[in-house]
């Protein structure tokens, strides 16, 4: 089977789905790899490195899609809402597509992939299990984003992070609050600590407390109990507005005492809850920084922009993983190559529906949206075979 790696087309995207280092293992397993010319250049991987590792360079994007049995991308149609649609005519029936597809975004984009007869796997749906850990691209990119959010905040803050004892006196350490202690949030805590700040974190999931403390952070406990705080996959569940209103009231004091607030609280498939209001921003000291790893928790955030309100700098940049494309691509490529080696055996795609990794990531197949979680999310009737415990 031939694996195709087209150049990412989303504006400003610098990552690449496979890096040269993973090519030999794929070739050894019987796969061929074709790469669009220049696909890895912006990430720091020139064409010559791909050919040296056994890949073939093709000059045109259409040639890559035409040659490939499996197409691997970072941002596929669905997650690429700017230029992804242009790839639809290049896809063909029976072809396999793997990457970020935003399966809980809009049903229209999924149905467009279905209409092309494509078998697609959404890496966002990878189960959080030990078996799937090496394939968990969402966690890998979350790690990068959490790190970069704190680095950007530290660069923006008109103070320094670490405590310093100098001839000019002692400088107090910076105070960083992380809201949302998932993968990105935990990496933000670790990065803030490495830079010398005092880090605190809040998460509505009680299980997060031990993880925060293990990184040297202080867990902010509020006299507030969430109902069904997390789902079976370990993700936070949405709460009602009365809960969020009380949460904001209790968080206001903690936010006001912080030099930097990193908001990383997300609910899969839902709009990120507003946890920091404009009034809370106004209560922060001038020069403070609000950094949004995914954009949605602060009422004042403007996606893709950096604004100043009440002397507080609010950074709403997104796609932070693309700002460090070399290592982001390296991590993503390791996840995707592990997934490919799991799916392809003896030169053939093996769709073992008893395998939870296959079953939970498979989004479209044989002209249907086959993922049970996605069908339920969009209120689609369960497929007959799903009601009997599987997909065929």
Residue 253, pLDDT > 80, answer: yes
Q: What is the pLDDT of residues 64-110, one digit of tens each?
A: 999 999 999 999 999 999 999 999 999 999 999 999 999 999 999 99
pLDDT exceeds 60 at position 176? yes
Among 119-123, 204-208, 265-269, 332-336, which stretch is predicted with the lowest mean pLDDT?
A: 265-269
175-185 burial code (b ≥16 CB/10 A, e <16): bbbbbbbbbbb
> Residue 233: what pLDDT?
64
Residues 189-198: b if buried by 16+ CB within 10 A, e if exposed: bbbbbebebb
DSSP 3-state assignment of 200?
strand
Average the pLDDT over 213-224 and give the result: 93
Between CA 122 and CA 71 the distance in angstroms is: 12
Indicate the average pLDDT of the chain. 93
Other CB atoms within 10 A of residue 389 CB: 8
- Residue 271 DSSP class: P
Predicted pLDDT of residue 390:
45
- Mind listing the pLDDT tens digit for each residue in 143-156? 999 999 999 999 99
- Asked whether 97 and 75 are in contact (CB, 8 A), the reply is no
**What domains, with CATH codes, occur in the chain?**
2-136+324-387 (3.40.50.720), 144-318 (3.40.50.720)
pLDDT cut 90: percent of the chain above it: 82
Once rounded to an integer, what is the mean pLDDT over residues 19-39? 97
What gap in Å lies between CA 335 and CA 357, rounded to an integer?
Answer: 13
Which range of 26-30, 261-265, 346-350 scores highest in mean pLDDT? It is 26-30
Does position 35 have pLDDT exceeding 90, yes or no?
yes
Q: What is the pTM of this model?
A: 0.93
Question: What is the pLDDT, as a whole number, of residue 72?
Answer: 98
Count CB atoms within 10 A of the CB of residue 212.
Answer: 22
Q: What pLDDT sits at residue 266?
A: 82
Bridge partner residues of 314 (DSSP): 290, 307
- The set of catalytic residues is 128, 133, 136, 139, 235
Percent of the chain with pLDDT over 70: 94
- How far apart (Å, rounded) are the C-alpha atoms in residues 164 and 156? 19
Lowest mean pLDDT among 17-21, 106-110, 279-283, 388-392: 388-392
């Amino acid at each position: 089977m031939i694996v195709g790696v087209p150049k990412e087309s989303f504006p400003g995207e610098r990552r690449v789905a496979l890096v040269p280092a993973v090519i030999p293992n794929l070739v050894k397993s019987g796969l061929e790899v074709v790469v669009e010319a220049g696909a890895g250049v912006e990430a720091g991987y020139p064409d010559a490195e791909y050919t040296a590792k056994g890949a073939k360079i093709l000059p045109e994007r259409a040639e890559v899609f035409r040659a490939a049995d499996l197409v691997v991308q970072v941002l596929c149609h669905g997650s690429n809402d700017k230029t992804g649609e242009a790839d639809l005519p290049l896809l063909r029936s029976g072809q396999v597509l793997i990457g970020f597809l935003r399966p809980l975004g809009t049903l229209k984009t999924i149905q467009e992939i279905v209409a092309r007869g494509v078998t697609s796997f959404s890496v966002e749906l990878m189960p959080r299990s030990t078996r799937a850990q090496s394939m968990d691209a969402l966690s890998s990119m979350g790690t990068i984003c959490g790190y970069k959010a704190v680095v950007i905040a530290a660069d923006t803050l008109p103070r320094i992070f670490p405590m310093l004892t100098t001839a000019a006196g002692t400088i107090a350490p910076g105070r960083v609050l992380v809201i949302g202690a998932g993968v990105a949030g935990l990496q933000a805590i670790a990065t803030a600590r490495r830079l010398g700040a005092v880090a605190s974190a809040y998460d509505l999931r009680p299980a997060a407390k031990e993880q925060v403390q293990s990184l040297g952070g202080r867990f902010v406990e509020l006299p507030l109990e969430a109902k069904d705080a997390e789902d079976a996959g370990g993700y936070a569940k949405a709460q009602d507005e009365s809960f969020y209103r009380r949460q904001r009231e209790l968080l206001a004091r903690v936010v006001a005492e912080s030099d930097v607030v990193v908001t990383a609280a997300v609910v899969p498939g839902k709009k990120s809850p507003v946890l920091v209001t404009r009034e809370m921003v106004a209560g922060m000291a001038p020069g403070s920084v609000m950094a949004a790893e995914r954009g949605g928790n602060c009422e004042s955030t403007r996606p893709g922009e950096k604004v100043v309100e009440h002397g507080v700098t609010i950074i709403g940049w997104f796609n932070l993983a693309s700002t460090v494309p070399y290592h982001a691509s390296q991590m993503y490529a390791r996840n995707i190559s592990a997934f490919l080696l799991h799916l392809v055996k003896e030169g053939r795609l093996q769709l073992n529906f008893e395998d939870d990794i296959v079953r939970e990531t498979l989004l479209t197949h044989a002209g249907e949206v086959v993922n049970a979680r996605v069908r339920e999310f969009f209120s689609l009737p369960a497929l007959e075979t799903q009601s009997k415990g599987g997909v065929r």
